[in-house]
Structure 1
Amino acid sequence: MTLLEQLEIKHPIFLAPMAGVSTPQLAAEVSNQGGLGSLGLGASTVAAARQQILETQALTEKPFQVNFFCHKSSALDPHISKQWIEYLRPQFEKYHATPPSELKCIYPSFLDSDDYLNLLLETRPKAVSFHFGIPHPHQIQALKQAGIITMVSATNLAEALEIEAAGIDIIIAQGIEAGGHRGIFNQSFDSAVKTSDLVQLLKQYCSLPVVAAGGVMNGQQAQLLIKLGAEAVQLGTAFVQCKSSNANAAYRKALFSNPITQITVSISGRPARGLINHWHTQIDRPERPDVAAYPYCYDLGKQLNAVAVAQGDEGFGAFWAGTNVAQIREMAAADLINQLVLEMNIHL
């Protein structure tokens, strides 16, 4: 059975599950056009995640995926946390604000409880993907018994081999070009493999289907990765500009006016690629101390952005984007799918 048959989709095109940006409308538009739509639910409460899944199911009868975070929850180091708050204090003061004295864990992990698992067993989406790690064995087993296809992001071969050994169905090969958070399991190192090399590496050593993610903006790039062995491609940045995404006006403008990206850990506590802004130019200096742990760091980053925006400064936004963002096109989701398919077929 091919990947397309397994997922019951027409085109080998996945919408990347972008937490905070994806919407039921965008997911349904991609799925209705023959791709695999998605919902990034890692930052959502169980109630909010349920609502988004039900809304998407009301908008499409086609398959779509949902995504959760599988990070290993870590205790907050009070010394590092205080040091990080103090380092950002002058930034808060620029906007006549005071930073918080304590940071909160704003995003739970799928590993922390079975609350999200039970939601999936209740709502039965076609597929679920995971970032930052692999679910517990009992969670994987429950998803399999429910007939839900499982996918996990891998940024290197070692992670891919763990994914395969765990009984996951599909590997998302996330290259260094990808926008947003790196899916690395171990934050102490990042292999930084580019997408095309990662696809070839995984096809050589793994037997699972591979979906290429990172730097894909057009059909020519997609077709190249499929020729290298990927069964499908996953695009995120290309769809952020769609009217049905949840990106704000400043984010949309920056995609077209400032198309240069860099990876930083300062926004969230985990490495993530985004458009160059204050985080890269003012915060990521050589004297920067260790950042607070994810997602506590993200709590502070969001608060700094909020006070800056209140003063008319959008420069602390988390404007995630991949390396090829300069090739972005202003198109509706359905039209973009059609254009990608046309370009892929021309270059068969």
Structure 2
Amino acid sequence: MPLAFDRRLVNLLELEHPIILAPMAGVVTPALAAAVSNAGGLGSMGLATSTVDAARQMINAYRAQSNRPFNVNLFCHKPAVANPAVESAWLARLRPEFERFGAEPPSQITEIYKTFLDNDEMLAMLLEEKPKVVSLHFGIPSADKIRALKAAGITLFATATNLREAQAVAAAGVDAVVAQGYEAGGHRGVFDPEAPDQQLGTMALTRLLVRHLDIPVIAAGGIMDGAGIAAVLRLGAAAAQLGTAFIACPESQADDGYRAALRSEAAQHTVLTSAISGRPARSLSNRFTALGATVSPKDIPAYPIAYDAGKALIAAAKAAGETGYGAHWAGQGAPLSRAMPAKELMQELVTELEAA
């Protein structure tokens, strides 16, 4: 490659190209992850919302299609604290939306999946399966978990949205930090969703972390083509992580409504909303994000309890033929999306990178 950049991560993971697939839970399939890895990048899968058995099945399905290194992602959010009054009021607020589709909201909502912070069963599975990389979002687990994963020969990534979070990542012994810019699609990786968000863009954040940290920095957010990858490598990044760029690939799990929205005017108007899941996440503009603009964050139940209601509303609307309530996570680069098989997209990205 003609560019001079931080090659530590590429060498460590034996990658041909400094391109990492974002581990989008509910979107990335083992087939998509394997296609990226087989094309010389690092395939990733989001396991945060999966049971241990389902997570193991995804790992096995990946290994049936690729023998290349891969990444699995877990969420390290604080366990949700139930608030029956807020949850009841939220369900009452959503009732008219359900009634549009002849449906009833749930009678109650609960924490629909566990945080990795206290999921020892998931840890045990990872120590058995030994994926090459485990990436962490929303924070970092205990020192004991980090030591156990590293002792098993697993490389660790963790997301940061500002310098303080990144310094905590490095101090914990994590091997590389994902610099998630404000442009990025999906859930913001902020450690504390109650604290002010510095809203740093990918370019500024990447350069800031490269200047202050000794571990490799992976740039994420708004990167859709080889020119974008080249730009972050020139800033000192060791790799670029792309998510929205791969949503339109036929191997992704995105449904027809999601794909149609990505091709529509909605791609020009991504919105950061907490209404769908209970934590800030960037989505294509739709009916759910419009609803979110009318409510205060304090009125939304904790994550992922709110997601229990959100998923129920999405399902009710979809059953009635309305896809405008989907969790259509996407970054600000959405208008640059290209629909093609992942292998072909990887070839395009590499060609563009070399040209840049």
TM-score by structure 2 length? 0.95
1:300 aligns with 2:309: yes
Q: CA deviation at 1:286?
A: 5.4
1:249 aligns with 2:259: no
**1:15 paired residue among 18, 21, 35:** 21
1:269 aligns with 2:278: yes
Residue identity matched to 1:151: F
Q: CA deviation at 1:337?
A: 0.9
Decide whether the 8 Å contact of 1:87 with 1:289 is kept in 2. Answer: no
The corresponding residue for 1:74 is 80
Q: CA deviation at 1:101?
A: 2.1
> Where in structure 2 are the equivalents of 1:198-347 lying within 5 Å?
198-257=205-264, 258-259=266-267, 260-285=269-294, 290-347=299-356
Deviations along 1:201-258, one digit per CA (max 9) or x if unpaired, are 1011111100000000010011011101111000000101111111111101111113
1:177 aligns with 2:186: no
**1:24 paired residue among 12, 26, 30:** 30
The corresponding residue for 2:3 is none
Unpaired runs of 5+ residues, structure 1, are none
**SS of the residue 1:18 aligns to:** coil
1:158 aligns with 2:167: no
**SS of the residue 1:212 aligns to:** strand
Q: CA deviation at 1:113?
A: 2.5
> Where in structure 2 are the equivalents of 1:110-189 lying within 5 Å?
110-188=116-194, 189=196
Identity %: 49
The corresponding residue for 2:4 is none
Decide whether the 8 Å contact of 2:80 with 2:111 is kept in 1. Answer: no
> Where in structure 2 are the equivalents of 1:30-69 lying within 5 Å?
30-69=36-75
Decide whether the 8 Å contact of 2:24 with 2:243 is kept in 1. Answer: yes
The corresponding residue for 2:199 is 192
CA distance in 1, matches of 2:125, 2:87: 33
CA distance in 2, matches of 1:292, 1:284: 15
**SS of the residue 2:348 aligns to:** helix
Deviations along 1:108-131, one digit per CA (max 9) or x if unpaired, are 111113111111111111101011
Q: CA deviation at 1:284?
A: 1.8
Decide whether the 8 Å contact of 2:45 with 2:73 is kept in 1. Answer: yes
Decide whether the 8 Å contact of 2:250 with 2:339 is kept in 1. Answer: no
Residue identity matched to 1:221: G
1:289/1:125 Cα in 2 relative to 1: closer, same or farther (>3 Å)?
A: closer
Residue identity matched to 2:66: T
1:101 aligns with 2:107: yes
TM-score by structure 1 length? 0.98
Q: CA deviation at 1:289?
A: 5.8
Number of residue pairs the alignment of both structures matches: 347
CA distance in 2, matches of 1:187, 1:342: 39
Residue identity matched to 1:241: A
Unpaired runs of 5+ residues, structure 2, are 1-6
CA distance in 1, matches of 2:297, 2:154: 43
CA distance in 1, matches of 2:233, 2:150: 27
Q: CA deviation at 1:145?
A: 0.6
Q: CA deviation at 1:94?
A: 1.5
Residue identity matched to 1:63: P
CA distance in 2, matches of 1:332, 1:286: 39
Residue identity matched to 2:117: L
CA distance in 2, matches of 1:44, 1:80: 26
